[in-house]
Amino acid sequence: MPPILLPTPEIADALAAKRPVVALESTVISHGMPYPQNLETARALEAEVRAAGAVPATIAVMDGRIRVGLDDGALERLATAGPTARKLSRRDLPIAVATGAIGATTVAATMIGARLAGISVFATGGIGGVHRGAETSFDISADLDELARTSVCVVCAGAKSILDLPKTLEVLETRGVPVLGFGTDEFPAFYSRRSGLAVDHRCDNATQVADILRAKWQLGLDGGVLLANPIPVPDELDADAMEAAVAQSLADAESRKIKGKDITPHLLAALERLTGGRSLTANIALIRNNARVAAGVAAALAAG
């Protein structure tokens, strides 16, 4: 591994033995929810991965190194830092490493860390994408370009519901990123299982996903694959009610002139407030579900 990476001994051993490993992002800990719920969720996600037969590797930047796997002390440190930790995408990684800052990795930065470490599967909540009104703001997440260039399978519940989903899928198509549905023909809309938008291909088990990953990378087609895994039925929220809450949250953000990477944490907090906490409960449920599916895909990939 490059010296800039610092894996835990467990992760290093698992990778050397080619056992299944699943990467986990850290912005869900620092920017996704308050302490101590963020720490409890981080531990729960790692437990889900372990229960499904893989080794969890939560990724973050601390003390000038990309940490691949966090022990409980490091998880506590990140959880208590909360939003004071830097939110890191591709452009931010070298700055955080060089300055020794504590930083939480977004989808894009987690993919980079995972690929450097040799981890092929990553579980998150929802990817970033094309923001509503991007035709004038040009606000498009770096996650989409990272998916086009970095060979990691990203398991998610679709793109965040605050985004323009049709435009997000259009950009993914242009970038050559396969969008697979796990047990679904339809791209999930984060809090909702349905969006009315089709995926490129449906997979009903982890082995089918692993076969596509191998074929893509054996063909020399660099870049990621997006595995869209719908939120479990009991945890799904009403799509119309959530759309109204998203519209209200976006209007509030615009009136406060909140933009760039600050907008997603603001909108998630606003949704939690407007839904009486139900959006946060659903968010935790879907990312735990994604962790389980990712572990299955990692195991199937390792078995091949």
Residues labelled catalytic: 25, 160
Q: Is 141 annotated as a binding residue?
A: yes
Q: Is 87 annotated as a binding residue?
A: yes
Q: Which of 231, 246, 227, 229 is nearest to 285 (CA)?
A: 231
Q: Is 120 annotated as a binding residue?
A: no
How long is the chain?
304
Q: Is 142 annotated as a binding residue?
A: yes
Contacting residues for 99 by C-beta, under 8 A, at least 6 apart? 64
| Measured distance CA(182)–CA(285) in Å, rounded | 16
Torsion of CA 239, 250, 163, 259, to 10 degrees: -160
DSSP letter for each residue of 159-209: B-TTB-HHHHHHHHHHTT--EEEES-SB--BTTBS--S-B-SEEE-SHHHH
* Residue 238 one-letter amino acid: D
Q: Is 249 annotated as a binding residue?
A: no
Q: Is 167 annotated as a binding residue?
A: no
Helix-then-strand count for the chain, H and E: 13, 11
> 10: left (phi > 0), else alpha (psi -120 to 50), else beta?
alpha
Q: What does the block give as tokens for 29?
A: 């800990």
| Measured distance CA(290)–CA(293) in Å, rounded | 5
Point out the annotated binding site for substrate: 87, 107, 141-143
Point out the annotated binding site for Mn(2+): 139
Point out the annotated binding site: 87, 107, 139, 141-143
